[in-house]
Structure 1
Amino acid sequence: MTASRKGLWQIFRAPLLLAMLSSVGLIAALIGDGVFDLLSWLTLGSTLAVIIWYWAKPSV
């Protein structure tokens, strides 16, 4: 078997996106109420949804 080489961007693209979403969600939760609460729930929930999706996905 040959392993394909992946660049740094391909390796760290998804974790960086999840980290940015989490940061936005945490900052929105600290800033205010109303729309900021909705933004924080959506961004933090999206990270959790990705984790649950990969955890529940059957391994190949």
Structure 2
Amino acid sequence: MRPRQSNFWKVFGVPLAIGLLSAGGLFAALLGDVVWDSLSWVGLGIPALIGVWGLMRRP
């Protein structure tokens, strides 16, 4: 008999990655200018694009 595989990462993997990316973007926005601003735009823009993409896919 096979042991049951955990579904934790299947369920929470993507939301956790989006949350970490958002938190990293917010933290980068507090650190400085120029390079940090670019990192914050990326860190906050990707989750926003994922949200818009998810809304556009709905019928």
TM-score scaled to structure 2, two decimals? Answer: 0.86
Question: Who is 1:56 aligned against?
Answer: 56
- Structure 1 runs of 4+ aligned residues shifted over 2 Å read none
Q: State the alpha-carbon separation in 2 of the partners of residues 58 and 37 from structure 1.
A: 32
Q: Render the CA deviation track for 1:10-48: whole Å, top value 9, x for unaligned.
A: 000000000000011000000100000000001100000
Q: 1:8 Cα deviation (Å)?
A: 1.1
Q: Percent identity?
A: 39
Aligned residues: 54
Question: Who is 1:43 aligned against?
Answer: 43
Q: CA RMSD in A?
A: 1.3
Partner secondary structure for residue 37 of structure 1: helix
Structure 1: runs of 5+ lacking an equivalent: 1-5
Paired amino acid for 1:20: L
Partner secondary structure for residue 58 of structure 2: coil
TM-score scaled to structure 1, two decimals? Answer: 0.84
